[in-house]
Structure 1
Amino acid sequence: MNYFKKTSPFINLLVLFLIVNVILRIVLLFHPITQSSFAITEIIKIFSFGLLSDVLVFMVGSAFLWLYLLFLSDSKYDKPTGYIIFGSMLALLLYVTFGNTILNEYGGSAPEVAIIFISLKTMLFGLMLFLPTYRKTIRLVLYYITIFIFVLVIVQNAISEFFFWNEFGVRYNFIAVDYLVYTNTVIGNIMESYPVIPLFTGVGLITGLFTYFIVLHTKPFLNNLPSFNDKLKVLGTYVVLFVLALLTIPLMAKQEKSDNIFTNELQANGIYKFYVAFMNSELEFDKFYKTMPNDEAFAVLQKLHPGISAQSALQTINSDSTEVRKNVVLITIESLSEEFMTAYGNEKKITPFLDSLAEQSLQFTNLYAVGNRTVRGLEAVTLCLPPSAAESVVKRTDNKNKFSTGHVFKQKGYTVNYMYGGDAFFDNMQDFFGGNGYAIVDKKSFLPIEITFANIWGVCDEDMYNKAIKVMNTESSSGKPFFNHIMTVSNHRPFTYPEGKIDISGKSKSRDGGVKYTDYALKQFFKMAAQQPWFKNTVFVILADHCASSSGKTELPLDKYRIPAFIYSPGFIAPKHHNTLMSQIDLMPTLFGLLHFDYQSKFYGQDVFSSQYQPRAFVATYQDLGLIKDNVLTIISPVKQVKQFALSVETKPNVKPEFQSDYEEQPMPTLREDLVKETIAYYQTSAYLLKHKKLNQ
């Protein structure tokens, strides 16, 4: 079989991959950060198990190479097959270019990328079909490009693993996954930290050299393509090897159980470690962040939360008044930055209803979102915890039976729903909310007649609110109070919505249009709700899940975390501006305080009207964990780094003092150790309690 001979590109690339990884292991073994000695048995294990892991990972990773090689053929250009294929490709190109595909519905650059890719494939196939004399030359050029790409991936991955080890002393973990999320920041950091031009030039030259020798050595394969029968045989062989590799790779990973952490890391394959990090989405706090003894961390936490005792978050919340069992509707609005609202300085008047509603509500004018993803906002208002390192609890496997706001309501006899206009399978919402006792109302619950408009994210907000009204009417007839958490979707790219509702066309796909339609739909919801018998006995909590953008000049730009939040309940809660610094995790405990609930709590969030409340807020990315307190921003980061910034307001004209949200973040040369300890205590103890399942119901 040509595919397994020494002239096969598969064999040549496999050999290159193995050689590069052996060299990489040797370099990492002697790297100054690898502060460990190794027994001869450990070195044998590192290189033998490592080599086998590399072979298995390549077997899986080479699937795209096999597809390319299997489709190399001369017979597909014969008549009439070649013309049928070419005609089909042309038809697909016309459809994608002029038709209304799902790519157009989503927006962004996806349609352009698809058109360019299909155009190139069609053009190249046409050239090889109609210019048979140049077919071998064209194929050789394309073969060079293909081999170059595969070699580049191998070389670039080795270089990336070296720099990652140079910084963190481990193979890829969730920080590497995080780098894909914050691409602009990472590229900027690379540009500033390393000699980019010489580095990339070197990578290009090495890749080009390896590509030249591989192509030269494998030309016999290209000039003597296997027959169709040979391809079927080799495909069957490869499928068996592929499945075997898939099953064996996790077993190899389980052999990484040495007491010497460096042995485990060197033995591992970095690409598989990246995959595991992507799937598990966790960073071990104790390993990557500055810590203190657990007893000391919990002692600090107890000073901040006097009701807590021992190594737990359990505390008793008592009210001095009779409980009020009003219905509660929590609406988390997608990407509603404070900057969209008039009070914070926006002059476009794109939130007229929210502006009006806020002034009729208890408005929290100094509240910060914990993160910059929807799952972070959902985690904050549901679990009331500081943001966890790496991925949100919502997307983790251990995300069920947690102590949640829904659990408190259920203890009080409420029906509890999570309502989402899209498919709750997205972002693991169904698994999280369903696993924590919420009934799910999502797009799958809608009848066709209930959907007037939908895009890639789900039904428009008006349709979701119409459905919510129906559900709440049914719930109210049961005589039980209800708690319904509604998550909106319309203020999200592609920003499409029904025409004729606002003065900005949905076809413009603009952020301003998305915001204004979101505001319009909310107004329609309150118009309908006001006509329902349960309205006067209902408290409405409205806030953003996160801001529309998180990029800024600093690691945690505070203006990108400040969000609008208010509680509306005419006749029950008086309108007021509350300017005390607070976090997204405090909103629901504050609501419980307003309802005078007595309950056993495991929340880190607090009632901001309590005499024990100490103003502070949490802000974070996937790896930078921050605490705002006393006009200081403290940030703890991987590799046990700590930074502090003094905060001073940068005043915006024509904006009231309580709505000023821009801060200059000035690095502090001397750290305030008390705030460093508080920051570590908050994040370390919450990570410990989550890990040991002490925040479960």
Structure 2
Amino acid sequence: MNFSKQIAPFKNLVLFFLLVGFILRIVLLFHPITQSHFGFVAILKIFFLGFLSDLLIFIVASAFLWLYLIFLSDSKFNKPWGYVLFGTYLALLIYILSGKTILHEYGGVLPALGIGFVGIKTVLIGLLLFFPKQRKNIRLAVFSITIFIFVLIIIQNAVSEFFFWNEFGVRYNFIAVDYLVYTNTVIGNIMESYPVVPLFAGVGIVALLSTYIIVKKSKGYLDNLPTFIDKIKIVAVYALLFIVSLKMIPVLSNQEDSPNVFTNELQANGIYKFYGAFMQSELDFFKFYETMPNNEAYALLKNQISNIGYDTTLRHIDSDSTETKMNVVLITIESLSAEYMKMYGNEQNITPFLDSLALQSLNFSNLYATGNRTVRGLEAMTLCIPPTPGESVVKREDNKNKFSTASVFKKKGYQTKYLYGGDAFFDNMQDFFSGNGYDIVDKSSIKQGEITFANIWGVCDGDMGNKAIQTMNEEAKTGKPFFNHWMTVSNHRPFTYPDGKIDISPTIKSRDGGVKYTDYALRQFFANAAKQPWFKNTVFVIVADHCASSSGKTELPMDKYRIPAMIYAPGFITPANNNKLMSQIDLMPTLLGLLNFDYDSKFYGQDVLKDDYKPRAFIATYQDLGFIKDNVLTIISPVKQSKQFALKQVDNPKLKEDYRIFYDETLMTTERQDLIKESTAYYQTASDMLTKKKYDVK
């Protein structure tokens, strides 16, 4: 068997991939949105370097194909190895079906995926083992399905790249990553915007015809499978190609250096661009959003935040009273939507402690989370800055030495710590918090004997509450005030927690159970804290990181961003409710105001108790940036688009006026340009501050 036949499936698929890439570049080159002229050198770069890039990308991306082909063998079904292999898969399937695996601990669709994959493998191995006369037919069917999947992905990716180019005029960027996060919204938009049935039917027909041709040309591989020695040679060649490709792909990417953006984008490979966007986690505001001159943006911002500079948010916060250096404990609660609390209309009584605590606190009933991921909430509470396009600053490469709540407290002589019941490596928290002046206390800091319950996310909130008390007792011995930020974990899938603590069994794995257990754990924490000598000199800030769900009828459904927040300190904070419209980024500056701190600030967040505060709030996805003011929700989006919704509160006589969280969002036909400009000014200057490192601690 010659080498060409031994690599026939790979050879035919790579030729198909290169052909699709070539056709796609031709189509994009002549697309109406590609408003540019290309010289000979540019055309050469687009097609020659583009061809090389596609080839190298396919070599890397075809690793799973190689694994599948290499393990095709008749000898492995000889006695006793065939029975050992079948028995191993059968035992693994039974183990997964038992419901006691790590997949079941996490929950969601993972158990079903595990059962499906192992189940299919078990059935196929059984068929190939027990029906040797049908082995070739069975193998051909599986081979054809495998090739079809690869072909379908290649064609579907090309079609997706076309539509992405049609909308944005570029290859994949972070918006494409965002689309994976908001799959339901994106699918809905596609269903409404394109002739989906004819489109998918066309893709399916082309994929089937292409698969037929490739399988026909590659069938000889199945008729005469490579020997063991041949496979070793093939693996050696592929391994060499794989390593060379990994080295050369970034080199070719660096050749996308033309002053003509279209040349660079056409030369690029969309799959690698997607990978780069995923790793970089940023979206260039100045490229994809409507902008204004920076001096104009900062001038507009100055109308909202007084005393800032002409190109920065730096200003001095004065206090006419003596500073109160109390300990501060910030507790961000995982996925605690406002609607889970009784005062916002919940009738399940799943937050009895927090309901009672809110009445003893300075409660903020009109506060909105900046985003719908934990890292957005952590960004808001730590940096007090509006959400900029792309991923949270927490997960970006340039995420250290930022002006933060910790930098303010440290300058006042505080100890600062971040407490997390899981592994702080997750979501880049370790890198972010340690790079911004926090000491880390996470699961690795807890002794095995101190853990009563843990799941895949970490120790339960009850155990972490005990660790928090222990940590604060040690800090209090130093005589220095402390600022501790504790992020809870129990209200998160798989919603498991210690049995017997609440009246909802953990075996149900329900969101209500997760919420109620966290509420229980917080009750125990505060009961324990009240016994400590430092308690009377401590202020507690309790707030959700984000809501439990973000889907709704519009891009930014406001009720999916409203979260509970309160500041509790018996004898220091007078219980009251504040119903001013405010953002998550305002909570810590408001606390600093209550402590009468005198400090230099770069925060966009403001003290909402000051007379000059102008109510507004920020809510966002990774690309849709929302601004709430004057009963209008303004959304600015790529590509340089904006829309506005008039907000009308939905009447609910069962709730007090301060707690009516639902609004009808009606698309406005006549836009308020002043609010669009103000929205742009906030988000543009925030992007400018971060990009130019003006938000760093000097």
**TM bin (shorter chain):** over 0.9
2:178 corresponds to 1:183: no
2:299 corresponds to 1:299: yes
Aligned to 2:685: 685
Aligned to 2:253: 253
Quote how far apart the aligned CAs of 1:101 are.
0.9
Aligned to 2:49: 49
Aligned to 2:31: 31
**Cα contact 1:3–1:10 (8 A) shared by 2:** no
Whole-Å Cα distance in 1 between the matches of residues 5 and 558 of structure 2?
A: 59
2:558 corresponds to 1:558: yes
Deviations 1:288-307 (A, max 9, x none): 00111111111111111111
User: In the alignment, residue 133 of structure 2 is paired with which amino acid?
Assistant: T
Whole-Å Cα distance in 2 between the matches of residues 447 and 665 of structure 1?
A: 50
Whole-Å Cα distance in 2 between the matches of residues 651 and 520 of structure 1?
A: 32
Whole-Å Cα distance in 1 between the matches of residues 153 and 2 of structure 2?
A: 24
Deviations 1:450-501 (A, max 9, x none): 1100011100000000000000000001000000000000001111000000
Whole-Å Cα distance in 1 between the matches of residues 123 and 567 of structure 2?
A: 59
Quote how far apart the aligned CAs of 1:140 are.
0.5
Whole-Å Cα distance in 1 between the matches of residues 59 and 182 of structure 2?
A: 30
**Cα contact 1:418–1:486 (8 A) shared by 2:** yes
**Cα contact 1:24–1:158 (8 A) shared by 2:** yes
User: In the alignment, residue 107 of structure 1 is paired with which amino acid?
Assistant: G
- Under a length normalisation based on structure 2, what TM-score does the superposition of the two structures give? 0.99
Whole-Å Cα distance in 2 between the matches of residues 105 and 3 of structure 1?
A: 47
Whole-Å Cα distance in 1 between the matches of residues 542 and 632 of structure 2?
A: 28
Whole-Å Cα distance in 1 between the matches of residues 516 and 121 of structure 2?
A: 41
Aligned to 1:462: 462
Aligned to 1:88: 88
SS in 2 for 1:548: coil
Aligned to 1:359: 359
Q: What is the aligned residue count?
A: 697
Quote how far apart the aligned CAs of 1:233 are.
1.2
Aligned to 2:508: 508
Quote how far apart the aligned CAs of 1:6 are.
8.6
Whole-Å Cα distance in 2 between the matches of residues 653 and 276 of structure 1?
A: 51
Whole-Å Cα distance in 1 between the matches of residues 183 and 428 of structure 2?
A: 24
Quote how far apart the aligned CAs of 1:236 are.
1.1
Structure 1: tracts of 5 or more residues without a match: none
Aligned to 1:10: 10
Whole-Å Cα distance in 2 between the matches of residues 120 and 673 of structure 1?
A: 58
Aligned to 2:657: 657
Whole-Å Cα distance in 1 between the matches of residues 260 and 108 of structure 2?
A: 47
Deviations 1:220-268 (A, max 9, x none): 1111110001101110111111011011101110000100000000000
2:352 corresponds to 1:375: no
Aligned to 2:323: 323
Quote how far apart the aligned CAs of 1:99 are.
5.3
**Cα contact 1:365–1:578 (8 A) shared by 2:** yes
User: In the alignment, residue 172 of structure 1 is paired with which amino acid?
Assistant: Y
Matches within 5 A, 1:583-602: 583-602=583-602
Whole-Å Cα distance in 1 between the matches of residues 149 and 59 of structure 2?
A: 17
Quote how far apart the aligned CAs of 1:93 are.
1.2
2:438 corresponds to 1:433: no
**Cα contact 1:2–1:8 (8 A) shared by 2:** no
2:270 corresponds to 1:239: no
Whole-Å Cα distance in 2 between the matches of residues 378 and 309 of structure 1?
A: 26
**Cα contact 1:7–1:219 (8 A) shared by 2:** no
Quote how far apart the aligned CAs of 1:653 are.
2.9
User: In the alignment, residue 184 of structure 1 is paired with which amino acid?
Assistant: N
Whole-Å Cα distance in 1 between the matches of residues 652 and 463 of structure 2?
A: 37
Aligned to 1:490: 490
Aligned to 2:606: 606
Quote how far apart the aligned CAs of 1:96 are.
1.3
**Cα contact 2:536–2:570 (8 A) shared by 1:** yes
2:68 corresponds to 1:65: no
Aligned to 2:620: 620
User: In the alignment, residue 41 of structure 1 is paired with which amino acid?
Assistant: V
Aligned to 2:152: 152
Deviations 1:59-105 (A, max 9, x none): 10000000011011111111111111111111111111115110111
Question: For the structure 1 residues 7 and 458, does the alpha-carbon distance in structure 2 shift closer, same or farther, using more than 3 Å as the test?
Answer: closer
Aligned to 2:122: 122
SS in 1 for 2:626: strand
Whole-Å Cα distance in 2 between the matches of residues 585 and 201 of structure 1?
A: 48
Question: For the structure 1 residues 630 and 99, does the alpha-carbon distance in structure 2 shift closer, same or farther, using more than 3 Å as the test?
Answer: closer
Whole-Å Cα distance in 1 between the matches of residues 651 and 226 of structure 2?
A: 72
**Cα contact 1:345–1:652 (8 A) shared by 2:** no
Whole-Å Cα distance in 1 between the matches of residues 274 and 266 of structure 2?
A: 14
Whole-Å Cα distance in 2 between the matches of residues 689 and 60 of structure 1?
A: 38
Quote how far apart the aligned CAs of 1:4 are.
4.2
**Cα contact 1:20–1:155 (8 A) shared by 2:** yes
**Cα contact 1:2–1:221 (8 A) shared by 2:** no
Aligned to 2:202: 202
Greater Cα offset, 2-11 or 354-363: 2-11
Structure 2: tracts of 5 or more residues without a match: none
Question: For the structure 1 residues 92 and 226, does the alpha-carbon distance in structure 2 shift closer, same or farther, using more than 3 Å as the test?
Answer: same
User: In the alignment, residue 654 of structure 2 is paired with which amino acid?
Assistant: N
**Cα contact 2:370–2:584 (8 A) shared by 1:** yes
Quote how far apart the aligned CAs of 1:611 are.
2.1
- Name the % identity: 68
Deviations 1:123-158 (A, max 9, x none): 111111111100001001011101100111111110
Greater Cα offset, 449-458 or 4-13: 4-13
**Cα contact 2:6–2:221 (8 A) shared by 1:** no
Whole-Å Cα distance in 1 between the matches of residues 346 and 372 of structure 2?
A: 21
Matches within 5 A, 1:258-407: 258-407=258-407
SS in 2 for 1:13: helix
- After superposition, the CA RMSD in angstroms is 0.9
Whole-Å Cα distance in 2 between the matches of residues 285 and 522 of structure 1?
A: 40
Whole-Å Cα distance in 2 between the matches of residues 54 and 4 of structure 1?
A: 21
**Cα contact 1:337–1:564 (8 A) shared by 2:** yes
Whole-Å Cα distance in 2 between the matches of residues 135 and 682 of structure 1?
A: 65
Question: For the structure 1 residues 475 and 4, does the alpha-carbon distance in structure 2 shift closer, same or farther, using more than 3 Å as the test?
Answer: farther
User: In the alignment, residue 605 of structure 1 is paired with which amino acid?
Assistant: G
Whole-Å Cα distance in 2 between the matches of residues 308 and 492 of structure 1?
A: 40
Question: For the structure 1 residues 321 and 239, does the alpha-carbon distance in structure 2 shift closer, same or farther, using more than 3 Å as the test?
Answer: same
- Under a length normalisation based on structure 1, what TM-score does the superposition of the two structures give? 0.99
Whole-Å Cα distance in 2 between the matches of residues 284 and 110 of structure 1?
A: 34
SS in 1 for 2:543: strand
Aligned to 2:696: 696
SS in 1 for 2:202: helix
Whole-Å Cα distance in 1 between the matches of residues 522 and 299 of structure 2?
A: 45
Question: For the structure 1 residues 343 and 45, does the alpha-carbon distance in structure 2 shift closer, same or farther, using more than 3 Å as the test?
Answer: same
**Cα contact 1:2–1:226 (8 A) shared by 2:** no
Quote how far apart the aligned CAs of 1:109 are.
2.0
Whole-Å Cα distance in 2 between the matches of residues 296 and 257 of structure 1?
A: 31
**Cα contact 1:4–1:10 (8 A) shared by 2:** no
**Cα contact 1:555–1:624 (8 A) shared by 2:** yes
Q: Where does structure 1 differ by over 3 angstroms across 4 or more consecutive aligned residues? A: 1-7
SS in 2 for 1:330: strand
Aligned to 2:542: 542
